[in-house]
Amino acid sequence: MNFALLEFIFEEADVVVLSRAGHRRARIRFSAAAAQGEWLVP
């Protein structure tokens, strides 16, 4: 058997929430100090 370790370091995430009441989209940027997010137009 072979095993591998995968490491992911996320720098940015784009989150989309689909809803009948209205869609939402956010961008989250990660850094060593903190995470910063902002709302975007879907």
Per-residue pLDDT reduced to its tens digit, 1-42: 899 999 999 899 999 999 999 999 999 999 989 999 999 987
Residue written as token pair 């137009």? 41
- Domain hosting 37: range is 1-42
**Which pLDDT score, from 0 to 100, does residue 29 have?**
96
**Which pLDDT score, from 0 to 100, does residue 42 have?**
73
Distance CA 11, CA 31 (A): 7
Distance CA 20, CA 25 (A): 14
pTM of the model: 0.67
Number of structural domains in the chain = 1
